Structure 1
Amino acid sequence: MKHSKLAAVAAAGVAIGLALAGCSSGSSSTGSSSSDQKVTLTFWNGFTGGDRPGYQQIVADWNKSHPNIQVDMTVESWDTIEAKLPAAWLTGSGPDIAAPSSDPNAVGDYVKTNSVLPITDTGTGSTQIDTKAFAPGLTQEFTYNGKLYGVPANYATLSLYYNKKAFTAAGLQPPKTVADFQADAKKLTGGTTQYGLVLADNQTIQMWPILQWLEGGDIVDSKGCSVVQTPAGQNSLSSWAKLVTDDKISPVGLTGAQADSLFGAGKAAMEMNGPWAGATYKADGIDYGVVPIPTGVDGKSATLGSTAPLAISAKTKYPKQAQEFLAYWTSKSTQEQFSLTTGFPPVRSDLTSDPKLTADPTISVFQSQVSDARQYLPQVKNATKVDSDAYTTLIGQITRGTPVSQATKQAQQTINSLTGCSS
């Protein structure tokens, strides 16, 4: 599992001495170099996983085709980036460009401290960022007070991985509806595999929101007010909680890494995961298939869309060049190549029928769900703490036997206090 647990951006008071050396940012936020002046843009990110080669290829291709604008990329863990970057950007000693976190909501924290540059060079030109081509919701995800402060570094949907051996032994086909999904998870528990469906609930991309959406529930409404305590919210949690507590379809308290390990060891029949997981499962020797998330009670599809942001320092010396690099990163040709390299769907919606991508059976599955994907707590106030203090706690309680009515009442109070909902 791509471990993108929502993490609060570290306080800007982190010691400035932690900032990485050799950065090219400066005190001017309006200056730019002439086209014949060679500049170096520094770039920090936490892409340390199996998709790392795709990002390295983008930078290598850019440097080859832009001899006067070179990009120097530093890759460290997300924890390290989140610890160093706030103070570095606040003081102007940080990188020109960064993926500040695996959590897209982190951009809002940097907006509050005036640490990120509003992106203005948008349009359809070759050096402009074509925001209208982004997958649904991605432009809005990084827009605050009417200004764009980031672009998607990647985009992924979660799909359903299934163990072919386990399904064949049970005489089953991959589920197409939520009713089949639940029934299969129960039938496959204790058979060829120990668990029917592994459900991580911490240190991971959240899977439980998908289960709620399939059952007609949600976490918050458009005003940021809790809806987990409503009849629809409780119903969307109850059936799955019962499958865990009574039918033991999944261990409780799993991290993303632990859930991955169970599936990779052949001890789980199904897992919801992103395109980054395939290479690991293949290396584990698992004969797996990938299908879209089953349709919900309303007959419609729903899955979770995951993205990480790319943003520019408000104090970069080279705002024009930095925006040009982001335009290149999100361009059609770059996104097509990135998708073929990593298995991720592109961040653009105008590559849906790209023959190179549709010909790949795995990419096509993830890409087919882009239009049905939803973000997790998009721009919800204090989303990081809503996740950690309310939602993760809620799932932990109901999978350990706490009545859903009791757990959701507590979660409602915590969510509303964090989002400021007064209704």
Structure 2
Amino acid sequence: MRNKRALAALASVALTGLLVSGCGNSDDSSGSGPVSLTVWTGFTGGDAPGYDEIVSDFNAAHPDIKVTMTKMSWDTIQQKLPSAWVTGQGPDIAAPSSDPNAIAQYVKTNSVLEITNTGTGDDKVNTDQLAAELVKEFTYNGKLYAVPANYATLSLYYNKKLVSKPPTTVAELQDQAAKLTTGGNYGLVLADNNTIQMWPILQWLSGGDIVDANNCSVVSTPAGIASLQPWVDLVKNKKISPVGLSGAEADSLFSAGKAAMEINGPWAAPSYQKAGVDFGLAAVPAGADGKPVTLGSTAPLAISAKTKHPQQAQEFLAYWTSKTAQLKFSKTTGFPPLRTDLGDDADLKADPTVSIFASQVSNARLYLPQVPNATKVDTDAYVPLIQTATRDGDVAGAAATAAKKINELTGCTQ
């Protein structure tokens, strides 16, 4: 599910999917057959079977509704969906982006339906049993406009052939990253673009952040610069990672056995297993203050405001987030549960992959949650900050430029 991680070869498939899926808002109210609902998602990775299973199980349990899910690249969805939903020609339901903040633009254009089918019971969205930060992320002006399609924390993958014992502190992580960069191998591959961000974790571990509670930039403060400097030095001077890696490129290096460590989500495990990597999983090491922290990732699942079947669409979202569906999904994919009432499930606790990711849920932070223009803050300010700093080493200069851009985008006036 990694952000914008689809292969270029999927482009033609995606466009074909757009054509064959047609208008998801066609009216099946004639009673001649089951109501048809179309869904667009970008879930093309190793976790794809888990989403397919949800749809298949829903259809089997609801003979009066038939859901068809079309998978395509996130880029294609982000290109096609805004205008499709505005004109009523898009799918009934979609995961608009792997970036949870993207839902804000659809709320602004009145393109998404308010989810009112909430409460208790299997036929409703049990918001009281979903992780609170996920409900908050998709709530605007007191109204819920999406549900989490998944919830993932990032963990430390390490190659057992190169790493004898995974680090438990940020100091150990930095030391091992430098020492393991040898013989053509990289110690810790760090992607900075087209990816679920990992650099914020490095900042949090070292006492820094991106914005404050008022959405004003703090990357150029002394704490912000100090949190970036040691990591920039490791990349630029110690060569622990190539500069300017995309998420896919970082994954490829780990899959090829050329990287000792990588911070990634549960979606990566199947591809690494397929590549034959003998890897281990560990929690992200504790920060300089001794406290653990990692990044939590989710994708929104929302309903078109112009769907002709709002009741059935909300019923599908209720099933997607139900206890039954999510328990099965976690077992299939290795994702931690997005529901709080599954944390004590014995099977999930016994699963070595799920347990590592689930153990970090309470320490996870979302990236730029509900920060104004968060997507542009990432692409237009934060990514250039990391790329510029790791290339020329001038953290203060790059941070100053980024801070100005961030404040412009968020509307901060200091």
What are the within-5 Å matches in structure 2 for residues 14-413 of structure 1?
21-25=21-25, 38-168=34-164, 173-190=165-182, 194-413=185-404
Using the TM superposition, give the Cα deviation of residue 4 of structure 1 relative to its aligned residue in structure 2, in angstroms.
Answer: 4.2
Q: TM-score, normalised by structure 2?
A: 0.93
Q: Which AA in structure 2 matches 1:127?
A: D
Using the TM superposition, give the Cα deviation of residue 234 of structure 1 relative to its aligned residue in structure 2, in angstroms.
Answer: 0.8
Q: Which AA in structure 2 matches 1:288?
A: F
- 1:174-231 deviation line (CA, Å, top 9, x unaligned): 101111111111111115x611100011111111000000011100012110000111
SS in 1 for 2:186: coil
Partner of 1:14: none
Using the TM superposition, give the Cα deviation of residue 89 of structure 1 relative to its aligned residue in structure 2, in angstroms.
Answer: 1.1
Q: Which AA in structure 2 matches 1:181?
A: L
Using the TM superposition, give the Cα deviation of residue 49 of structure 1 relative to its aligned residue in structure 2, in angstroms.
Answer: 1.2
- 1:94-135 deviation line (CA, Å, top 9, x unaligned): 111111111111111111111100011111122110112112
- Name the CA distance, whole Å, in 2 between partners of 1:243 and 1:344: 31
**Which piece of structure 1 moves more, 227-236 or 76-85?**
76-85
Using the TM superposition, give the Cα deviation of residue 36 of structure 1 relative to its aligned residue in structure 2, in angstroms.
Answer: 11
Using the TM superposition, give the Cα deviation of residue 254 of structure 1 relative to its aligned residue in structure 2, in angstroms.
Answer: 0.7
Q: Which AA in structure 2 matches 1:93?
A: Q
- Preserved CA contact (<8 Å) 2:236 2:393: no
- Name the CA distance, whole Å, in 1 between partners of 2:138 and 2:307: 19
Alpha-carbon spacing, 1:20–1:386, altered in 2? closer, same or farther (3 Å): farther
Sequence identity percentage: 65
- Name the CA distance, whole Å, in 2 between partners of 1:379 and 1:35: 41
- Name the CA distance, whole Å, in 2 between partners of 1:413 and 1:22: 43
Using the TM superposition, give the Cα deviation of residue 37 of structure 1 relative to its aligned residue in structure 2, in angstroms.
Answer: 7.2
- Name the CA distance, whole Å, in 2 between partners of 1:218 and 1:349: 27
Using the TM superposition, give the Cα deviation of residue 378 of structure 1 relative to its aligned residue in structure 2, in angstroms.
Answer: 1.1
SS in 1 for 2:60: helix
Q: Which AA in structure 2 matches 1:363?
A: V
- Name the CA distance, whole Å, in 2 between partners of 1:19 and 1:80: 13
- Name the CA distance, whole Å, in 2 between partners of 1:26 and 1:420: 40
Q: Which AA in structure 2 matches 1:375?
A: L
Alpha-carbon spacing, 1:401–1:48, altered in 2? closer, same or farther (3 Å): same
- 1:18-61 deviation line (CA, Å, top 9, x unaligned): 7765434169xxxx969997311111111111111111110000
- 1:67-95 deviation line (CA, Å, top 9, x unaligned): 00111211122122222211221111211
- Name the CA distance, whole Å, in 2 between partners of 1:93 and 1:286: 44
RMSD of aligned Cα (Å): 1.9
- Preserved CA contact (<8 Å) 1:123 1:130: yes
Partner of 2:2: 2
- Preserved CA contact (<8 Å) 2:158 2:166: yes
Partner of 2:10: none
- Name the CA distance, whole Å, in 2 between partners of 1:21 and 1:283: 31
- Preserved CA contact (<8 Å) 1:19 1:84: no
- Name the CA distance, whole Å, in 2 between partners of 1:232 and 1:385: 23
- Preserved CA contact (<8 Å) 2:3 2:99: no
- Name the CA distance, whole Å, in 2 between partners of 1:327 and 1:361: 28
Q: TM-score, normalised by structure 1?
A: 0.91
Q: Which AA in structure 1 matches 2:200?
A: P
- Name the CA distance, whole Å, in 1 between partners of 2:367 and 2:35: 37
Alpha-carbon spacing, 1:35–1:239, altered in 2? closer, same or farther (3 Å): farther
SS in 2 for 1:137: helix
What residue ranges of structure 1 are gaps of 5+ in the alignment?
6-17
- Preserved CA contact (<8 Å) 2:186 2:258: yes
Partner of 2:15: none
- 1:254-280 deviation line (CA, Å, top 9, x unaligned): 111111111111111100011111111
- Name the CA distance, whole Å, in 1 between partners of 2:150 and 2:299: 6
Using the TM superposition, give the Cα deviation of residue 149 of structure 1 relative to its aligned residue in structure 2, in angstroms.
Answer: 0.3
Alpha-carbon spacing, 1:34–1:218, altered in 2? closer, same or farther (3 Å): farther
- Name the CA distance, whole Å, in 2 between partners of 1:72 and 1:283: 28
Alpha-carbon spacing, 1:232–1:36, altered in 2? closer, same or farther (3 Å): farther
Q: Which AA in structure 1 matches 2:305?
A: A
Partner of 1:420: 411
- Preserved CA contact (<8 Å) 2:74 2:97: yes
SS in 1 for 2:191: coil
- Preserved CA contact (<8 Å) 1:20 1:94: no
State how many pairs are aligned.
402
Q: Which AA in structure 2 matches 1:25?
A: N
